[in-house]
Each structure stands twice: as structure tokens, then as C-alpha cells.
Structure 1
Amino acid sequence: MYRLKYDCNAESYAQQAVNTCRKTELPGHALGGHKQNLFIFNNPRASQQQAVLFVGFPKKTSVVIEDEIFKAIATWWSQLARFGMRSNMMFHQSEFKRGARNVLNWAKMAWWSTQRVGCAARNCGSYYAVSCMYSPGGAFVNEHVYRVGAVCSDCHGGQCDGQALCRW
């Protein structure tokens, strides 16, 4: 699993997505090769600045992040703990048939080859739309989210950082 880098191109696709104020993810052909996570929360009183993207890059913004943004990221990441997955981390077609109890958003974030992320938020009147785009993304059927094994064992040339993530 790679340490994610913030990507302005991915952010531009996320911004395009939230600008539509859709409550559903964009079709795959509109994502520029990215995979999308979308979170809708009802808090129209939050400012645009408070609804700024947050993906764990403190140098990207010094704004105090609204609880709802943390909730979006935490909700996506918590899918694995809440809904579970096979212990071999193989992503099966059945994930798409689990309704709301799936790990699709988590898989896009945790996918072994995901290296870049960009996010955006927009006030859509009665709600905020928050979207993050991942590149190359994940959730590919019959592939592993990541291979189960020793930490950093698949990092190229032993390029492992202090948080057990591969450098690239």
C-alpha cells in the first residue's frame, strides 16, 4: 500500500463532480481514469471554507476542518471494520450486491496501487457534497485490495516509510 500524494488533477475531477450537486457518483467515463467516493451531508450552514477537502495532508490547508468532513473520510475508511471482507482481501463481485453494507469506498482508498488523491466540497443549498478521486483507484473484481503479508514486503526496492507505507 502506497503513501498517498495529493494530486491537483484528481482534485479538478472531484471539483467537477461536486459542482453538479449530484447525490450519486459520476459515471466511470466522466472520471478521467479516477475512482470516486462521494459523501452527502446535511449542514447547509457550514461555510465553503469549512467544507474544504481533507485527506490527511495538514500542509494542504490550515483551515479547521468541519466535523462532517472528518465524518466523510472516517465513514469511508470504517467500512472494513463495520462490514468486513474475506481475510485474503480478494475483492469479489459480491461486494456490489451487499447494498449499503459494502466496502466499496474503503477499497478505493486502500487499494494497493492507489497513489494519488484529490478532493473537493461544495455547498449545494440544503446539503454539502464531498468527493474524493483516487488514482488509479481500486475495486477491481477478482483482484486483491492488497496482498496479505509482512508489512512493506511488496515495496519496490525496500522503499518503506516510518508508517509502514511504500514510497514511490
Structure 2
Amino acid sequence: TKGLFYVINPLDFQCWNHQNADEIRERYLYNINLYRRKIANGVAGNKGGTCPQGKNIYMLYWDCYLEMLAQKAADSCNEKAAAPKGYSLLMKKFTPTSCNPIPLPKQAVDEWWNVVKTVGLDSTTPMFSSEALRSFATLANGKATRVGCAHRNCNGEFYMACVVSEEAPPLNTQIYETGAGCANDSECTTYAESKCLWQKLCKAGYVGNTVTTTTKNI
């Protein structure tokens, strides 16, 4: 299958949080960027159809500092944990059937994203029209470039947390720009020195302490 996201090498994460594992980091990053790619290509699912196609949609980098903030939130064992100042926080609690957390990142990302399929976006303008869309608005945010996620087993319940930069847009504002996904670098205009990837996602210039993804044909 062409166009799937893979981390270049698990060692490239080089994060210092030993409570997490590169396989888990990869699963978060892969699934979030896969959904963002669908926005850029105009094929993301919506209630009764597809979400408006987006332009200036950026591939997310993994950020080790944001991962540590996510770990702090997960360690609180509280789904209502406050977001760190200047960032967005997503929390999800699972009662797993085993002690293996490997399947949970995809499950968490799917549940955060797929609220759009029950709440719905306007067919032409992707407005953050309802608080029920917050998790989708956080992951689909056109200004977002970085993410870090972590988890904690709290007495048999797994708390999954992701911290995203930039913050989600305010309620009743547009989540991302509409238009065709990029075809060349000049169409990636939100951040300096941006590049266009062949999946129609943009890649920001250096954003510090991050790991990105690449693609392979398999």
C-alpha cells in the first residue's frame, strides 16, 4: 500500500521518558498523521459524507517535551486534567482486557477523531461548532505541528493522554483552511521553510526537539 506513514527508525525518537516505548509512540503518530492526510486529500469521513478538503494541513512531528507533559497528565489518573498552558490536551480512559497497551493508541486516536462522524461538520466550512467536536478539532487543527502522547496504568485502568501544539481553535471558529492539499512547496504557507510532501501534507521547517515521519512503499 502506498502513502502510509512510518517512523524512519524507532531510535529516532530519542525521548527520555522511560515509561513510554517507541512502538507506542509510532502508533500514535502514524494514526494521527493518517487522519490528517485524509483531510488533505478530501477523503476524511464526516456525518453523511466527507469532511471539506483542507489545504495547509501539516504533518505532525513527535515532540519529547510534549510527551512529558502528556505523561504528567496521564499520571494524574484524571480524565478532567487541565491542559498545559498554550497547548491542547486529549485524555481517554480505557478498561483493557489485558495489560498490553499496544492496541490502545490507535483506539484512542480513532475515538477522538471519529466524533466528527456522529456530530458532523458543515459540508463546505469546517467550523468548530460544538464542544462535542473538541477532540476532532484538536487533531485536525490546521495550525498544529507537534504532538506528544503517553499513558499510565491506574489500578487496572489505562489513561491515554496527548498534548498538541498549537492549541485547538476557539469554539465557533474554523478548524482548518479549505482547499486542495498541496502540490508544491509554495502552497505550504503557514510556517516558514515549509515543504510539500507527495501525500498532500505540508511539512514545517525545523520546530525543535521533534521527530517526524517518512513514507515507504510496502
Regarding TM over 0.5, the answer is yes
What residue is the counterpart of 1:57 in the other structure? none
What residue is the counterpart of 1:58 in the other structure? none
For the 8 Å contact 1:44–1:127, the answer to whether it is kept is no
- How many angstroms does 1:107 deviate by? 0.7
What residue is the counterpart of 1:135 in the other structure? 165
Give the AA of the match of 1:155. Answer: C
What residue is the counterpart of 2:213 in the other structure? none
What residue is the counterpart of 1:4 in the other structure? 60
What residue is the counterpart of 1:165 in the other structure? 201
User: Structure 2: how far apart are the matches of 1:69 and 1:5?
Assistant: 16
Specify every segment of 5 or more residues in structure 1 that has no aligned partner in the other structure, as ranges.
52-64, 97-101
What residue is the counterpart of 1:155 in the other structure? 188
The answer to whether structure 1 residue 83 and structure 2 residue 119 are counterparts is: yes
RMSD over equivalenced CA pairs, Å: 1.9
- Number of positions where the alignment pairs a residue of Structure 1 with one of Structure 2: 141
What residue is the counterpart of 2:149 in the other structure? 119
Give the AA of the match of 1:13. Answer: L
- How many angstroms does 1:82 deviate by? 2.6
Specify every segment of 5 or more residues in structure 2 that has no aligned partner in the other structure, as ranges.
1-56, 205-218
- How many angstroms does 1:77 deviate by? 1.4
For the 8 Å contact 1:152–1:158, the answer to whether it is kept is no
Give identity over the alignment, percent: 29
| TM-score, with structure 1 as normaliser | 0.76
Give the alignment partner of residue 27 of structure 1, picking from 82, 103, 113: 82
The answer to whether structure 1 residue 145 and structure 2 residue 175 are counterparts is: yes
Q: Which runs of 4+ in 1 moved over 4 A?
A: none
User: Structure 2: how far apart are the matches of 1:140 and 1:33?
Assistant: 13
| TM-score, with structure 2 as normaliser | 0.60
User: Which of 82-91 and 125-134 deviates more?
Assistant: 82-91
Give the secondary-structure state (helix, strand or coil) at the position aligned to 1:36: strand
CA spacing shift, 1:142–1:23, aligned 2, 3 Å:
closer
For the 8 Å contact 1:44–1:126, the answer to whether it is kept is no
- How many angstroms does 1:127 deviate by? 0.8
